[in-house]
Structure 1
Amino acid sequence: MTVIGRRRLLAAAGGLALAGATATACGTNTGRNTTGSGPALAQWYHQYGEPGAQQAVRRYAAAYKKANVSVQWRPGDYDRQTAAALLTDSGPDVFEVNGPLLEQIQGGQVADLTDLVAPVKDDFNPAVLAPKIWRDRIWGIPQTVDTQVLYYRKSLLEEAGVQPPQSVDELVDAAGKLTTDKVKGLFLGNDGGVGVLSGTPLTAAGLSLITEDGKPGFDDPAAARVLAKIRQLYADRSLLLGAPTDWSDPAAFVQGLTAMQWSGLWALPQITKALGDDFGVLPFPKDGPHGKPTVPVGAYASAVSARSTHPAAAKAFAKWLWIDRTDFQQDFALSYGFHIPARLSLAKRARQLQQGPAAEAVRLATEHGYAEPLLWTSADRNAYQDALSRIIKDGAHPETELRAVLRKVEAELTRVKNT
Structure 2
Amino acid sequence: MSLSRRHLFTLSGGIAATAGLAACGSNTGRTDTAAPAASSAAAALPSVSVWYHKYGEDGVEQALKKWAAEYTKAKVSVNWVAADYEKTAAAALLTSSGPDVFEWGTGPSLDMIQAKQVVDVTDIVGAAKADFTPTVMKRLTFQDKIWAVPQTVDMHLLYYRKSLLTKAGLQPPKTIDELIAAANALKTKDMGGFFAGNDGGLGVLGSFIIWAAGLEQISADGKSAGFNTGALYDAVAKFKTLFDAPGMLKSASTDWYDATPFINGETAMQWAGLWDMTKVQAAHQDDFGVIPFPAIGSGGRQVVPFGAYSACVSAKAKDVDAAKAYVKAIWVDDDAKQIEFSNAFGTHIPAKPKLFAQASKVASGAGADAAKFVTDFGHIDDILWTPASGTAYSTALSNVVKSGKDAQTEFTAAADKVAAELKRVTG
Structure 1 and Structure 2 fold alike (TM over 0.5): yes
* Residue 412 of structure 2 corresponds to residue 403 of structure 1: yes
CA–CA separation in structure 1 for the residues paired with 2:295 and 2:357: 25
Superposed displacement of residue 212, structure 1: 4.2
What pairs with 1:6-405 in structure 2 (closer than 5 Å)? 6-10=5-9, 22-24=24-26, 26=28, 29=30, 31=32, 36=38, 37=42, 38-98=45-105, 101-214=109-222, 215-405=224-414
Q: Please, what TM-score do these two structures have when normalized by structure 2? A: 0.91
More displaced, 152-161 or 75-84?
Answer: 75-84
Contact 1:178 1:185 in 2 (8 A): yes
Shift of 1:11: 5.0
Structure 1 pair 363/19, CA: closer, same or farther in 2 (3 Å)? closer
Q: What CA distance in whole angstroms lies between the structure 2 residues aligned with 1:129 and 1:344?
A: 12
Q: Which amino acid aligns with 1:278?
A: D
- Tell me how far 1:272 sits from its aligned partner: 1.2
Distance 2:278 2:318 in 1: 43
Question: Alpha-carbon deviations, 1:328-384, whole Å to 9, x = none?
Answer: 122223312211111111223312211111111111112111111111111112222
2-side partners of 1:322 and 1:212: how far apart?
Answer: 31
Q: What is the CA distance between 1:288 and its match in structure 2?
A: 2.2
In 1, Cα distance between equivalents of 2:34 and 2:260:
43
Task: Say which SS state the counterpart of residue 388 (structure 2) adopts.
Answer: helix
Q: Report the TM-score when normalising by structure 1.
A: 0.92
What is the CA–CA distance in structure 1 between the aligned matches of 2:21 and 2:396, rounded to whole Å? 30
Which deviates more from structure 2 when the two are superposed, residues 381-390 or residues 184-193?
381-390
Q: Which moved more, 1:254-263 or 1:369-378?
A: 254-263
Q: Is the 8 A contact 1:304 1:311 kept in 2?
A: yes
Equivalent AA in structure 2 for residue 138 of structure 1: I
How many angstroms does 1:194 deviate by?
Answer: 1.4
Judge conservation of contact 2:22–2:90 (CA < 8 Å) in 1: no
Q: CA offset at residue 32 of structure 1?
A: 8.2
Matched to 1:174, the amino acid is A
Please give the alpha-carbon distance, in whole angstroms, between the structure 2 residues aligned to 1:131 and 1:107.
18
Give how far 1:92 is off.
1.2
Looking at structure 2, the residues matched to 96 and 22 of structure 1 have their Cα atoms a distance apart, in angstroms, of 19
In the alignment, the residues of structure 1 paired with residue 325 and residue 125 of structure 2 have an alpha-carbon distance, to the nearest angstrom, of 12
CA distances 1:134-183 after superposition (whole Å, capped 9, x unpaired)? 11110000111111111111121122222211111221222222223332
d(CA) in 2 for partners of 1:113, 1:364: 28
Percent identity reads 45
> Closer, same or farther in 2 for the Cα pair 1:220/1:361, shift >3 Å?
same
Amino acid at match of 1:318: V
Moved more, 93-102 or 243-252: 93-102
Deviation at 1:21, TM superposition (A): 6.2
SS in 1 for 2:361: helix
Give the aligned residue type for 2:248: L
SS at match of 2:272: strand
Structure 1 pair 352/190, CA: closer, same or farther in 2 (3 Å)? same
Judge conservation of contact 2:342–2:361 (CA < 8 Å) in 1.
Answer: no
- Is the CA contact 1:102–1:375 (under 8 Å) kept in the aligned structure 2? yes
Q: Distance in 1 between matches of 2:126 and 2:27?
A: 32
After superposition, the C-alpha distances for 1:206-228 in whole angstroms (9 at most, x for unaligned) are 11112443132202111111111
Mapped partners of 2:311, 2:101: distance in 1: 7
C-alpha distance after superposition, 1:222-254 (max 9, x if no partner): 111111111111222221011111111222212
Q: CA, structure 1 residues 13+235, in 2 after alignment: closer, same or farther (shift >3 Å)?
A: farther
Query: How much is the aligned-residue C-alpha RMSD, in angstroms?
Result: 2.4
| Aligned equivalents of 1:288, 1:43: Cα separation in 2 | 45
Distance change >3 Å, CA 288–CA 295, structure 1 → 2: same
Structure 1 residue 33: deviation in Å?
6.2
Do the aligned residues in 2 keep the contact of 1:3 with 1:337 (CA within 8 Å)? no
Paired residues in the alignment total 415
Q: 1:13 to 1:75 in 2, by over 3 A?
A: farther
- Distance in structure 2 (CA, Å) of the matches to 1:189 and 1:175: 14
Displacement of 1:309 in angstroms is 2.3
Preserved CA contact (<8 Å) 1:231 1:395: no
Structure 1: distance between partners of 2:93 and 2:142 = 19
Where does structure 2 lack aligned partners over 5 or more consecutive residues? none
Aligned mates of 1:396, 1:278 — CA distance in 2: 41
Over 3 Å counting, the alpha-carbon distance change for 1:255 and 1:397 in structure 2 is farther
Structure 1's unaligned 5+ residue stretches are: none
**What secondary structure, in the 3-state scheme, does the structure 2 residue paired with 1:128 have?**
helix
Report the Cα offset of residue 3 of structure 1. 4.4
Whichever residue aligns with residue 67 of structure 2, its letter is: Y
* Helix, strand or coil at the partner of 2:194: coil
